[in-house]
Chains A and B, each alone.
Chain A
Amino acid sequence: MEIIMSVLAGLLFTAGVYMMLQKQILKIVIGTALLSHGAHLFIITMGKLNRGKPPILAEDVTNYADPLPQALILTSIVISFGVTSFLLVLAYRAYQTNGTDNMEKLRGNDHE
């Protein structure tokens, strides 16, 4: 199970990096979203995938799921949700103001 999840996270990272290297702003934003999904899957995998076990450690519980990655992933999801929505608005405003969504044209050599 961990192997499958790791491969999946790896695929998401690959796709995300590929998308980030595109010229169109929207594709870059989608790339960051894919990357953060990959990172989240990664966090949950790192704490060992124990399905159907309680996330607590008590006297008589010997087989438990690690609760910490679940707490970490929640925080991380909230943050990336906020940043992605901000980024979408920013991309739209940047497109409106600059009149282009091509990063090649936004190099900014004229700012001297």
Chain B
Amino acid sequence: MSNLVILPILLPLLTGIFLVFFNSKLPLVRMITKVMVIINLIAVSAIAYEVVQNGTMVLKAGDWTVPYGIVLVADPLAMVLVVTANIVATACAFYAFHSLDEQRERFYFYPLFQLLIAGVSGAFLTGDLFNLFVFFEVLLIASYGLIVLGGTKEQFRESFKYIIINLFSSILFVTTVSFLYAVVGTVNMAQLAERVGEVEQGGILTTIAILLLVVFATKGALFPLYFWLPKSYTVPPTVISALFGALLTKVGVYSILRVFSLIFVYDLTFTHQLFIILAAFTLIFGVVGALSTNNIQLIVAYNIIPAVGYMILGIGVFSATALAGSVYYLVHDMIIKAALFLLVGAMAAYSGTSDLRKMGGLIKHQPVLGWLFFIAALALAGLPPFSGFVGKLLILRGAFEEGHYTVAVIGLLTSLLILISIIKIFIKGFWGEDKLEKVPNISIRNKIMPAAFLLFFTVLLGIGAEFFYPTVQSIGDQIIDPINYIDSVMKE
């Protein structure tokens, strides 16, 4: 039964390898991709249902007993994120058929896309710190391939910086893991959690914790290490931006959540206080960036940063309410960022520019796109009844309960600024005088559908919060008291 855990990694990995061989037959490749993303989505949903109902599943690779072998741990947190990642992947796959030029499709877009999903799922599922590094590399190498796909001047310029910064943080990651191995003598996360309390090496362990934080903060775009993100996420085609914006930074945030709730919890006054300070700066600087530009894709890309700030704030507050909020927000943010990138991409494709100053009056030509964007904007800013509201409410309620008033107020003000930055696109792009010189003769219905699919989940998570909340709250309880996780891994 527990062999099922490998399915979310294996399915996209094998599909990706398989697709390489049929690369010349594009219709077939599209067909296989379509079928496989849906099969994968159904499979992971079934596994997630099983895990939420019957508890954590653990796969010991090769049946090696725990400290010696590699383990994959499908606990509710990991599975919820895997399902969300696959929802985003499904929408992006269907968007790709209608937005990518044929040359890019031929140059192995679909295999790289599948490998990216395999890497993301693996990073969520692994229960081994070194294996986390390996899955980070799988998804990063796929992303290196995707970011240069097409080979325009801007792509080469920005992708080089993106790759160097990620490579540097990966090297730091390996070094830190070997530090940790030297001190604690294991890389298995559950065993680390047990031993870190026992070895009583507070000073050196805190140093290692901060080094790991630097690594994950670089991947997750936390202040002050977010500078590489906005430009490198806007140069590739829309669908790739959407995948990156929805999945890659969230893997970094998930790693922080996992490592700093399971392993490094012995010095909360130092590490988690640091998170709150970092979260405050991330919120402010991210939203200032979003307000500073008129490029619609850059506005959305900058909005990734304050969202990361909210999740880190929830981790920093470290109460069951705030952690449940972080999880809710993580799920919400993966979906809404993908939806926004796709919608903005459709806007840019229709009006032929991504400069807001040259746009206007699109609502007359594309009313559906306009109102979908309006819903997405409200959801991003966290207005009820959409999903952003629930997550933000829980995080900020946790912050107020634990007495972190300053940062909670900063969070509230940031929400307002996020709303201004994103509604600016709606006001200037959809309202106002019509600046289209001639109405372009292209249909963007196929581009709107995937975004509508994602927005459906946003509305569902918002209106159906009553239904989802108990599950998320139980995930939050398990994060703060990880005895369940440790026991299910360590038992024979």
Contacts and interface: CB of A to CB of B under 8 A. Distances in A.
Tell me, yes or no, whether A binds B: yes
Interface of A: 20, 25, 28, 32, 35-36, 38-40, 42-43, 46-47, 68-69, 72, 75-76, 79-80, 82-83, 86-87, 90-91, 93-94, 97-98, 106, 108, 111-112
Contact of B141 (A25, A28, A32, A86): A86
B141 A76 contact: no
23 contacts: A25-B160, A32-B164, A38-B175, A39-B178, A43-B175, A43-B181, A46-B179, A46-B182, A69-B181, A72-B177, A79-B137, A80-B171, A82-B141, A83-B141, A83-B144, A87-B163, A93-B148, A94-B159, A97-B151, A98-B157, A106-B161, A108-B154, A111-B234
A36 B182 CA distance: 18
A87 B170 CA distance: 14
Given A35-B168, A35-B171, A90 B160 contact: yes
A111 B178 CA distance: 40
Interface string B121-163: 0000000001001100100010010001001111011111101
A72 B156 contact: no
Given A97-B151, A98-B153, A46 B181 contact: yes
B168 A20 contact: yes
- The secondary structure that dominates the A interface is helix
A72 B201 CA distance: 24
Interface residues of B, number: 38
B105 to A, nearest CB: 20
B330 interface: no
A41 to B, nearest CB: 10
Interface string B292-322: 0111000000000000000000000000000
B355 to A, nearest CB: 8
Given A94-B157, A111-B235, A32 B151 contact: no
B115 to A, nearest CB: 13
Nearest to A105: B157
A86 B144 contact: yes
A28 B151 CA distance: 20
Contacts of B130: 72, 75
* 10 residue pairs, one from A and one from B, having the closest CB atoms: A46-B182, A94-B156, A46-B178, A43-B178, A39-B174, A39-B175, A106-B157, A79-B137, A35-B171, A39-B171
A112 B297 CA distance: 10
Interface in B152-201: 152-154, 156-161, 163-164, 167-168, 170-171, 174-175, 177-179, 181-182, 187
